[in-house]
Structure 1
Amino acid sequence: MQTAAEITFWHNDGSDILLPVPAEFSFAENYNHLSTATNEALYTLRSGKIYKAIAVGDRDTVVEISDEDGTHLRIVFIEEPDTDSPELREGVARYVHDWFDLGTDLAPFYEMAQNDPLLKQAVESFYGLRNMGIPDLYEAICWGILGQQINLGFAYTLKRRFVENFGRSIVREGETYWLFPTAERIAPLTAADLSAAGMTTGKKCEYLVDTARLIAGGGLTKEQLLQAGSVKQAEKMLINIRGIGPWTAHYVLMRCLRMPDAFPIDDVGLHLSIKHVLGLDAKPSKERILELSAGWTLWESYATFYLWRLLY
C-alpha cells in the first residue's frame, strides 16, 4: 500500500512507475541534452527513450525512461524479476526524481532570465531543460577531477575506462549497462592500479583513490556538505581535499548537492558562452562576470548550466 508521501511523489501503473513532472519540464530538451555527451558509459539513448542502470541498496536494476503525455515520466523495469519490491520502486523513483531535478520550481528562474541579456536566448532555446544531476557524491567528484585541464571528449574517454575497469555491469535484453564504481570499490586500490587500467596522470589517480578512501571511511558525505550552512562553507570543506580546487568544488555542489548558488565562475565554458552571447572579442574578466551575474542570486547554478548548454 502506498503512503501519503509516495502518492504525491510517484504512482504505480501496473509494473511501471509514473513520476509526475513540473509544468516547466521538457523531456525532449533533457533527452537532447543527454544526447550531446560523447562516448557516455552510464546511460543509453534509443528511439526517444533513456536506458539506465540504477543501484538501490545492494540491488542493481535497469530501467527505461520515457515521456508520458508531457505530464509524467514512465519508468519501465527491464527484465527485473521482482518489480513488486517497495524498496526497489521507491529507490528508483527517488533516483530519477533527483537525476532530473524535478523538485526545483523553475518558474522564478525563467521570470528572472527573460529580462537578463545573457540568459534570455538560452531559456527561450532550451525551455524545460533541467540541471541533469549526478546523485552520487563520489561519481560527481570523480567526474570533476577527470575533467580538469583536458577537453570534454577526452574526459568522457577516461570516464568510460574508469567505469568499464572498475564499475559493475548488468545485462538486460542482450545489452550491457554499467554502474559507476563505488568509493568502497576504489578505496583498497592504489594509484598504480588505476594508471595500469589506462587512466590519466598519476596525480589524478591519487586524487581518485584518496577521495574514495575518505568517502568510504565516512569522512565526507552529502549530509555533511548540506549541513555546512552555506555554499562558501561547503566549498571550504571540499577544497581541503587534495585534488579539489574551487572549480571542482562548485561543480560538485552544483551537480550533486543542488546548491542553487554554486557558481563555477572560473569555468572556461562559461566564459566562452558569455563571449558568444555578447559578441565580445575576448573572454570576459572575472570582475565583468560578477557584474553581469548580479541579478542571478540563488540561480547561479542554473544560469551557468543554461549558458553551458548554448555551447555543448
Structure 2
Amino acid sequence: MTFEFELTPRPPFRLDLTVWALRRQQGNRIDAWDGRRYARGVALGASVLRIAVEQGGVPAAPRLLVAVQGPEGRRDVAQELVSGLLRRALGLDIDLEGFYRFAASDAALAPLAARFRGMKPPRFPALFEALANAIACQQVSLASGIAMLGKLASALAPQTQCDAGVLAFPQPRAVLAAGPEFLRDLGWSRQKTDYLLAAAAAIENGALCDAQLAQTDDAQVLRLLSRLHGIKRWSAQYVALRGLGRLTVFPVDDVGAHKHLALWLGLPERLDAQSTQALMARWQPYAGMVYFHILLKRLKDAGHLDSQHACTGGA
C-alpha cells in the first residue's frame, strides 16, 4: 500500500521548527528529520506504516504533503490513523493568534516569538510514548535518555517493510511482554525498568488514558499522573505539556530549562524550581510555549536550525 494525501495546518506553520521542538536532539531515531522531510513509523494493528511529511507553500499558507507506505490494507483506515497522529504530534489545528498577540506585548518574549513564528507546540503521538520519554530522561542527560528510547524502539517495535531506518514506538503490550530482564539488557536501570513497566500496565489495563485525563483540569491531571510508580513532579509536568498539550504547564524542575531560561533573560544566577514557578506567572496561560521557545533558542544557538531547508517565505 502506497499513497499520498495533503493536510492543511492552521497558519502560520513551519514544519522544521515544530519537528525540532518534538525531537529535541539530533540523536532521536524515532522522529527522523533530514533537513526537509519528517519521517517515522506508526503501528497499524500488527503492521507498521512508514510516514514521510514535507511542507509546501509558505508559513502563512502552508500545505503538508504526506506519503504513506506499508502492507496492503484499507487506505481509508490508514489515512485516518496517520492524519490523526500528525494533527496531534505537530499541533496542526492549534490556533496561536492569541499567543502571538500576548507575546507582542512582552519585551522579552516578542523577539523570540517572532524568530520562531510558525512553530506549533508538539505532542507525543500517544500517552505511553510521553510517559516513556519522561521516565527515560529522568536524572540523566537528554542525549542519554533519547539514546535509551532509540534502543527500546529498535529492539521492540517492528521496523517498516519499506525502510529499515524508520522506527515506530513500541506499544505497551510489547514492553510488558519483553519483561524486566530484557529491558535491563537494553541499558534501562532496574528503577527505570520498574517505572516503564508500571506505565505500560496502567495504559494497557485502562487505569490511565487520554480520555480520562482530557476531562479534568491541570492540577488534577498532575495528581493522576503522579499516582504512577516513579512519576513525580517533573515527569508529571513533562507529560502534561508534551503528552497532553497543557500549555499552561512548565516543568519547573527541569535543570536544562533553568539554565537556558536564565541565559535568555540575562539573569546573574541559575534558577531553581521555586524561582522558575514565580517567573512563569508572567507568561500564563502560555508558560508551555515559553518552554518550547527556549528549547528552540538553545537548538538555534547550537547551530542545529541553521542548515534547515524549510520553506520560510511569507509571514
**TM-score, with normalisation over the residues of structure 1?**
0.87
Aligned AA for 1:177?
V
Can you list the C-alpha shifts for 1:261-290, whole angstroms capped at 9, x where unaligned?
222112112211221112222113444434
The answer for the alignment partner of 1:223 in structure 2 is 211
Q: 2:222 aligns with which of 212, 232, 235?
A: 235
Shifted more, 99-108 versus 39-48: the winner is: 39-48
Kindly state the Cα deviation for residue 169 of structure 1 after the two structures are TM-superposed.
1.1
Of 8, 12, 19, which residue of structure 2 is paired with 1:20? 8
Distance of 1:287 and 1:196 partners within structure 2? 38
Aligned to 2:312: none
Aligned to 2:133: 143
Q: Deviations over 1:21-52 (max 9, x none)?
A: 12221123235556752322213333611222
Matching of residue 75 in structure 1 with residue 66 in structure 2: yes
Contact 2:42 2:168 in 1 (8 A): yes
Structure 1 residue runs without a partner (length 5+)? 1-13
Mapped pair 1:167 → 2:157: yes
Q: Tell whether the 8 Å contact from 1:269 to 1:308 is kept in structure 2 after alignment.
A: no
The 8 Å contact of residues 234 and 254 in structure 2, kept in 1 or not, is answered as yes
Tell me which of the two structures has the higher relative contact order, counting C-alpha pairs closer than 8 angstroms and 6 or more residues apart: 2
The residue correspondences of 1:178-197 to structure 2 (distance < 5 A) are 178-197=167-186
Judged with a 3 Å threshold, the aligned counterparts in structure 2 of structure 1 residues 187 and 277 are, in CA distance, closer, same or farther, namely same
Instruction: Indicate conservation of the 8 Å contact 1:239/1:246, yes or no.
Output: yes
Rounded to whole Å, the distance in 1 between the matches of 2:70 and 2:219 is 45
- Find out whether 1:134 has 2:121 as its counterpart: no
Higher alpha-carbon deviation: 90-99 or 263-272: 263-272
Amino acid at match of 2:78: L
Residue identity matched to 2:225: L
User: Which amino acid is 2:127 matched to?
Assistant: L
Match of 2:165 in 1: 176
Matched, 1:121 2:111: yes
Superposition deviation, residue 311 in structure 1: 1.7
Amino acid in structure 2 at the alignment position of 1:176: G
Q: Contact 1:269 / 1:311 at 8 angstroms: preserved in 2?
A: no
With 299-308 and 91-100 compared, the bigger mean Cα shift is at 299-308
Corresponding position of 2:297: 310
- Give the counterpart letter for 1:195 in structure 2: R
* 1:38 counterpart = 2:26: yes
Match of 1:248 among 232, 235, 260: 235
Deviations 1:62-102 (A, max 9, x none): 122011213210101236644x6211111111111111111
Q: Relative to structure 2, which stretch is displaced further, 131-140 or 285-294?
A: 285-294
- Residue 200 (structure 2) pairs with residue 212 (structure 1): yes
Q: Is contact 1:187–1:216 with CA below 8 Å preserved after alignment?
A: no
Aligned to 1:98: 88
Q: Is this contact kept in 1: 2:90–2:123, CA < 8 A?
A: yes
Q: What is the alpha-carbon distance in structure 1 between the residues aligned to residue 133 and residue 64 of structure 2?
A: 26
- The equivalent of 1:280 in structure 2 is 267
Q: Secondary structure at 2:161's aligned position in 1?
A: strand
Cα 1:269–1:156 change in 2 (3 A) is same
Counting aligned pairs with the same residue, the percent is 21
Change in 2 beyond 3 A, CA 1:202/1:35: closer
Note the aligned Cα RMSD (angstroms): 2.1
Q: 1:279–1:128: structure 2 CA closer, same or farther, 3 Å change rule?
A: same
Q: Which residue is 1:52 aligned to? A: 40
Is residue 145 of structure 2 the alignment partner of residue 158 of structure 1? no
> Structure 1, residues 161-220: CA drift from partner, whole Å, max 9, x if none?
111122221131x543211111111123432221122x2321111111111112111111
Q: Distance in 1 between matches of 2:267 and 2:284?
A: 24
Counterpart AA for 1:159: L
